Structure formats: structure tokens, C-alpha cells
Chain A
Amino acid sequence: QKEVEQNSGPLSVPEGAIASLNCTYSDRGSQSFFWYRQYSGKSPELIMSIYSNGDKEDGRFTAQLNKASQYVSLLIRDSQPSDSATYLCAALIQGAQKLVFGQGTRLTINP
């Protein structure tokens, strides 16, 4: 079992709709979670971090964490074509200081 798992997609969403991206993790001791966006040919850039159960909102982005279910999600409201990218979920492994990434979900926003 991979430490962090994501559906690779592609996920296609119409412009203006809500895009929902999901991630599960295997290390129950993980405490910190991150969503990175990666445009084609570019390096990952941080969108959101979340450490506590519940929702965390930042503009059009909402991260959700459920530690009991070992589940992290990212919602993008009012999706724009510029949101088309690969979204990487990452978890900080307990006892280590390294981020483990999922394989990423490729998101396409259709105008």
C-alpha cells in the first residue's frame, strides 16, 4: 500500500463548477498535510496546508481533513481554466521530517 494515494485522473470539470480532489494516507500518525499544484513542466507550488480535523478555507480553496478516516480533500470553488494542473497531496510522515507525495491528480477545467 502506498503511503499517500490519489486518483490519477484525469478529472474534468466545467468552468465555474466545484472541483473535488481526494487523497488517502496510510500512516495514522501523520499530523500535517499539504496540497501542491504543479503546472505542466513546472515545479510544485504550495496551495494549502492543514493540520487539524475539519475544514480550512483560503479564497476559492478549501482543504478538508478527517484523521479517523485518514482522508484529505481539496475543493476548488468557481473553477477557472487557470486551475488546470496536477494537484499533489502530501503527508508528513510521523517521526520523520520528510513529505511523502501521492502520484497527483490531473485536473482539467473546461471553458
Chain B
Amino acid sequence: DTGVSQDPRHKITKRGQNVTFRCDPISEHNRLYWYRQTLGQGPEFLTYFQNEAQLEKSRLLSDRFSAERPKGSFSTLEIQRTEQGDSAMYLCASSPLGTSGSHTGANVLTFGAGSRLTVL
């Protein structure tokens, strides 16, 4: 198990271009999360999946943002028509489902190294 992998680690793009980030979670983890973090702030929730189902999306996620997890394994986050305000670190995290009634493991997020987006 190599942990949560994100690719690319750094993306520089021009305003108006589309970008896509990929996340490979820990293999036995059912849940996958996307967060965005800007300098001096904590991670902001964007969306999460349980297996292939996208169960919640933040209102921060405008219609320019879309996330998929087609086979319940890796996930992609696409940003269309990027804006300078999209510049941030995009963090992916995964967690196990946990057993019913148990706190053990469930909701304990393991983060990837992040994908830093710079929009010029």
C-alpha cells in the first residue's frame, strides 16, 4: 500500500484552460474526498464519494468543477475554463467505511500529497 497518490503534483495553466487531476486512494478505502486549500487557510470540502456514488457536493463546487469515480477506485477532478481564483492546492483523501457503530477507522482521512494549481 503506497498511500494516496495524486497526479500531477503541480499544474501551471493559463486562464480559460481546462485541467484534470487524478487521485488513487488507498485500495481498501471506500470513501474518497476532494478538498481545496489556499495559503493560510484550512482545507475546504469540495465533494466526496462512497464507492462510485458521489454523495455530497459543496456549494463551492461551481458548474465548472466536476468529479468522477467511475469504478469506485481512482477519481478525477476536472476544472473547466479555469480562473485565477482557482489557484490552490487540491487535496484528495480517502478513508475506510468503518464498521457500524464503531469510530475505529471511519472518517479518519488519509491525505495525498496534493496537486498544486497555478492559473496565470
Contacts and interface: CB of A to CB of B under 8 A. Distances in A.
B48 to A, nearest CB: 6
Given A43-B113, A98-B48, A98-B56, A88 B42 contact: yes
Interface in B25-75: 31, 33, 35, 40-45, 48, 50, 55-56
Interface of A: 4, 6, 8, 32, 34, 42-46, 49, 51, 88, 90, 92, 96-104
A43 B107 contact: no
Interface of B: 31, 33, 35, 40-45, 48, 50, 55-56, 91, 103, 107-114
Contact of A97 (B42, B43, B107): B107
Contacts, number: 55
B99 to A, nearest CB: 14
B31 A97 contact: yes
B113 A32 contact: no
A92 B107 contact: yes
B114 A103 contact: no
Given A45-B111, A51-B103, A103 B40 contact: yes
Query: Which 8 pairs across A and B sit closest by C-beta, in order of nearness?
Result: A101-B42, A43-B111, A103-B42, A98-B45, A101-B43, A104-B42, A51-B103, A43-B114
Given A43-B114, A51-B103, A98-B56, A103 B108 contact: no
A44 B41 contact: no
Nearest to B110: A46
Contacts of B91: 43-44
A43 B91 CA distance: 8
